[in-house]
């Protein structure tokens, strides 16, 4: 073998470095186990101490107040000490984190999480398992597949169903609609399919139908799929904010008259603002009559699969061609932990690509279960372990009971809020959200009510007292409670409503009101 003398200085330089054993462990291996244990203990203590001191769901800090602390940090000059890093993290993050387990966090679809799922992270993260191929994950692959099969059975999709874990409902909806689009185009006469040849000449006629209050990810998916926002037809909802079947019929007939091609209908099982569940059986009937793909977005309402009291609310979901499920919402799992399911596993071929260095075709033909063959992502974390540990430790019924308790809490809160003359609740809760606004006597102008309610939300957030959501319904600003914490008690929500009205009274009476600009920054 020829020895290249030009490499000699570099070789000598490497050998002259200090022995790495003289330094604290930096990479995880068997020699770092004690450092891992002690470091994890210090992190656990930080979380414990922070939560013990915390009295509010957030600090109320604004971006312009925290930004200077970040600008002062030079990432090219490490602290070289775990304790110093934790001290810095305390100031930058822990002291201002938003605590979803707090009873006054009632803003978005964030849930308190199970203890077994947290412990699962302590196992999956150091091992750094990547679940795209069998040779990187082994048993992790089968754990994920078992959970997919279990979920599909709960939905009732049949023995040919399959799926994969995703990052969330947005990715699941994109994946499902991508498969639906490619399946529809593949069936067009004279078109050999999208994967090799791209979209057919008449792709501008493709349409997706969904409720006017469905998730924005439907529009985002349409844009990413090359169809554009205009390919999404929003169907009016009824008084309960569910898709109106008469309006759906009208929209389908109008598509026929205009020569458009509806290839997918998205039914929502749990809309973000109202928790409303579209009439899935009636929508499924229209899909079957016309050969249209039915996708059910159950990112929010999927937890009803475990409910002993309300599972029937998902009637018809078993007729779907694809389903989105967010375990990190109503299954009480950490983000991210979600799945996209399909009724016919053969449809997953539309997102399969075989790479010789990773998942060669012959490997698939031999039966190797490489999960990358059915995923939009390549590298993926072992997120399934969180749900696995939860189910094996607590059981599915416990999670279903948690959701039932949250639903009951929302109904109790609705009844309590209806008793107040100064609170206008828009609708009874369908799942666990309440859309309302503070409306005192003497303030009837919508513009004044909007300013007042925006200021209430901003005031509570700035003080760190509560994190309440805001939304618009028919152009009017409303406050929103999103309840996903089974430990929250009715008394705590009643007290929060009282605080909202006190803040409103103070703002309405003040002659020097703060700016009406709706701050998105606090919490």
Quote the CA–CA distance of 324 and 445 in Å, as a whole number: 40
> Are 461 and 102 in contact, with CB atoms under 8 Å apart?
no
| pLDDT score of 241 more than 80 | yes
Looking at residue 244, its pLDDT comes to 98
Quote the CA–CA distance of 124 and 80 in Å, as a whole number: 25
| Distance between first and last Cα of the chain | 64
The pair of structure tokens assigned to 42 is: 């210090």
Quote the CA–CA distance of 141 and 106 in Å, as a whole number: 36
Looking at residue 523, its pLDDT comes to 54
Q: pLDDT tens-digit profile of 182-228?
A: 999 999 999 999 999 999 999 999 999 999 999 999 999 999 999 99
CA distances from 475 to 40, 86, 230, 447, 471 (A): 48, 45, 21, 11, 9
Residue recorded with tokens 């000449």: 201
Parallel, antiparallel or unpaired: strands 423-425 and 293-298:
unpaired
Q: Among 359, 448, 464, which Cα is nearest to 65's? A: 464
Q: Among 173, 256, 136, 270, which Cα is nearest to 207's? A: 256
The DSSP element (H or E) to which 341 belongs, if any, is strand 338-342
Phi, psi of 522 (to 5 degrees): -65, 125
pLDDT band for position 520 (cuts 50, 70, 90): very low
> Are 331 and 356 in contact, with CB atoms under 8 Å apart?
no
Looking at residue 422, its pLDDT comes to 95
| pLDDT score of 12 more than 70 | no
| pLDDT score of 327 more than 60 | yes
| pLDDT score of 18 more than 90 | no
Looking at residue 335, its pLDDT comes to 96
Looking at residue 444, its pLDDT comes to 84
Q: pLDDT tens-digit profile of 417-442?
A: 999 999 999 999 999 999 999 999 88
Q: pLDDT tens-digit profile of 475-514?
A: 999 999 999 999 999 999 999 999 999 999 999 888 344 4
The pair of structure tokens assigned to 270 is: 């749990």
Looking at residue 517, its pLDDT comes to 42
Looking at residue 16, its pLDDT comes to 42
Looking at residue 214, its pLDDT comes to 98
Looking at residue 80, its pLDDT comes to 87
Prediction pTM value: 0.92
Quote the CA–CA distance of 140 and 123 in Å, as a whole number: 12
Quote the CA–CA distance of 182 and 441 in Å, as a whole number: 56
Q: Which domains does the chain have, with CATH numbers?
A: 119-393 (3.40.640.10), 397-509 (3.90.1150.10)
- Chain-centroid distance of CA 355 in Å reads 30
Across all residues in the chain, what is the average pLDDT?
93
Quote the CA–CA distance of 515 and 467 in Å, as a whole number: 19
Residue recorded with tokens 């993050």: 93
Quote the CA–CA distance of 399 and 408 in Å, as a whole number: 14
Phi-psi label, residue 128: left if phi above 0, alpha if psi -120 to 50, beta otherwise: left
pLDDT band for position 22 (cuts 50, 70, 90): low
Looking at residue 515, its pLDDT comes to 45
Looking at residue 10, its pLDDT comes to 45
Q: Among 93, 89, 67, 143, which Cα is nearest to 337's? A: 143
Cis peptide before 320, with omega less than 30 degrees from 0? no
173 forms bridges with which residues in the sheet? none
Phi, psi of 45 (to 5 degrees): -65, -40
| pLDDT score of 452 more than 60 | yes
The pair of structure tokens assigned to 104 is: 């006054």
Quote the CA–CA distance of 459 and 60 in Å, as a whole number: 9
Least confident of 6-20, 235-249, 265-279, 469-483: 6-20
- What 8-state DSSP symbol labels residue 432? S
| pLDDT score of 75 more than 60 | yes
Average pLDDT (370-386) is 97
> Are 438 and 426 in contact, with CB atoms under 8 Å apart?
no
| pLDDT score of 3 more than 50 | no
Q: Please spell the DSSP secondary structure of 21-63, one letter per residue.
A: GGSPP-S-SGGGHHHHHHHHHHHHHHHHHHHHH--SS-----H
């Amino acid at each position: 073998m020829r020895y290249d003398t030009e490499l000699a200085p570099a070789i000598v330089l490497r050998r002259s470095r200090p022995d790495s054993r003289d330094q604290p462990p930096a990479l995880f291996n068997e020699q770092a186990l004690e450092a891992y244990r002690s470091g994890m203990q210090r992190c656990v203590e930080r979380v414990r101490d922070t939560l013990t001191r915390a009295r509010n769901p957030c600090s109320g800090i604004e971006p312009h107040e925290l930004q200077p602390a970040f600008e002062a940090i030079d990432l090219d000059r490490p602290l070289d000490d775990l304790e110093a890093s934790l001290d810095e993290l305390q100031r930058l993050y822990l002291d201002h984190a938003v605590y979803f387990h707090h009873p006054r966090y009632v803003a978005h679809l964030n849930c308190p999480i199970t203890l077994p799922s947290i412990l699962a992270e302590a196992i999956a993260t150091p091992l750094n398992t990547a679940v795209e191929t069998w040779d990187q994950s082994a048993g992790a692959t089968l754990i994920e597949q078992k959970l997919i099969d279990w979920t599909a059975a709960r939905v009732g999709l049949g023995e040919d169903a399959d799926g994969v874990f995703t990052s969330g409902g947005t990715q699941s909806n994109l994946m499902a609609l991508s498969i639906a689009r490619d399946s529809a185009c593949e069936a067009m006469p004279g078109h050999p399919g999208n994967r090799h040849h791209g979209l057919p000449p008449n792709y501008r006629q493709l349409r997706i139908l969904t409720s006017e209050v469905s998730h924005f990810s439907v529009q985002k998916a349409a844009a990413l799929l090359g169809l554009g926002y205009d390919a999404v037809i929003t169907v009016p909802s009824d008084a309960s904010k569910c898709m109106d079947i008469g309006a759906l019929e009208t929209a389908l007939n109008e598509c026929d008259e205009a020569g458009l091609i509806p290839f997918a209908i998205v039914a929502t099982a749990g809309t973000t603002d109202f928790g409303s569940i579209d009439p899935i059986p009636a929508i499924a009937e229209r899909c079957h009559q016309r050969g249209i793909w039915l996708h059910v977005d159950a990112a929010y309402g999927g937890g009803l699969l475990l409910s002993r009291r309300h599972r029937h609310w998902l009637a018809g979901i078993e007729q779907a061609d694809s389903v989105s499920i967010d375990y990190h919402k109503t299954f009480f799992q950490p983000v991210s932990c979600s799945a996209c399911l399909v009724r016919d596993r053969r449809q997953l071929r539309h997102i399969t690509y075989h790479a010789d260095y990773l998942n060669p075709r012959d490997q698939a033909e031999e039966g190797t279960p490489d999960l990358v063959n059915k995923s939009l992502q390549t590298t993926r974390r072992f997120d399934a372990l969180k749900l696995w540990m939860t189910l094996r430790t607590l059981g599915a019924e416990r999670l279903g009971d948690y959701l039932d308790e949250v639903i009951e809490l929302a109904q109790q809160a609705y009844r309590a809020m209806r008793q107040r003359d100064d609170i206008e609740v828009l609708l009874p809760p369908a799942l666990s959200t309440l859309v309302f606004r503070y409306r005192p006597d003497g303030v009837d102008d919508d513009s004044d009510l909007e300013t007042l309610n925006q200021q209430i939300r901003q005031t509570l957030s700035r003080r760190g007292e509560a994190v309440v959501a805001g939304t618009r319904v028919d152009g009017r600003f409303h406050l929103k409670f999103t309840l996903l914490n089974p430990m929250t008690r009715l008394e705590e929500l009643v007290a929060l409503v009282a605080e909202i009205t006190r803040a409103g009274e103070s703002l309405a009476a003040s002659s020097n009101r703060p700016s009406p600009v709706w701050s998105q920054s606090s919490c």
